[in-house]
Amino acid sequence: MTVASEVSLIISVYNGEPFLEQALRSVFAQTRRPEQIILVDDGSTDGTAGIARSHPEVTYFRQPNRGVSSARNLGIRSATGDFIAFLDADDLWAADMLEGHCDLLERNPESQVVVGLVQPFRMKSAGAENPDMVTIGEPALLLNLGSALFRKGVFDRIGLMDEDFSIAADWDWFLRAREEGVPVLTPPETALFYRRHGANITNRKKQLEHELLILFKKTLERRRRHGIAGELPRLSDFMAEIQPKAAMSYDASE
Residue among 114, 112, 107, 102 nearest 32 (CA): 102
- Torsional class of 77: left (φ above 0), alpha (ψ -120 to 50), beta (otherwise): alpha
Domains held by the chain: number: 1
* CB neighbours of residue 96 within 10 Å: 16
- What's the domain range around 82? 7-251
The predicted pLDDT at position 224 comes to: 80
Longest CA–CA separation in the chain, Å = 54
Indicate whether 23 belongs to any domain. yes
Indicate whether 11 belongs to any domain. yes
Coil, strand or helix: which one is 50? helix
Query: What pTM value is reported for the model?
Result: 0.83
DSSP state of 3: P
Indicate whether 1 belongs to any domain. no
- What's the distance, Cα to Cα, between the start and end of the chain in Å? 35
Per-residue pLDDT tens digits of the chain, which is 254 residues long: 355 799 999 999 999 999 999 999 999 999 999 999 999 999 999 999 999 999 999 999 999 999 999 999 999 999 999 999 999 999 999 999 999 999 999 999 999 999 999 999 987 765 545 457 788 889 999 889 999 999 999 999 999 999 988 888 998 999 899 888 899 999 999 999 999 755 555 545 687 788 888 888 887 888 788 776 556 655 555 554 544 433 333 333 33
The predicted pLDDT at position 50 comes to: 98
Indicate whether 41 belongs to any domain. yes
The predicted pLDDT at position 89 comes to: 94
Indicate whether 188 belongs to any domain. yes
Indicate whether 202 belongs to any domain. yes
The predicted pLDDT at position 61 comes to: 98
Strands (E), the chain: 7-13, 36-42, 58-63, 83-88, 92-93, 113-115, 117-123, 133-135, 148-151, 183-185, 190-195, 249-251
φ and ψ at residue 137, rounded to 5 degrees: 70, -160
Indicate whether 45 belongs to any domain. yes
* CATH code of 225's domain: 3.90.550.10
Indicate whether 25 belongs to any domain. yes
| Cβ contact 35:6 at 8 Å | yes
Give CA–CA dist 128/141, Å, rounded: 27
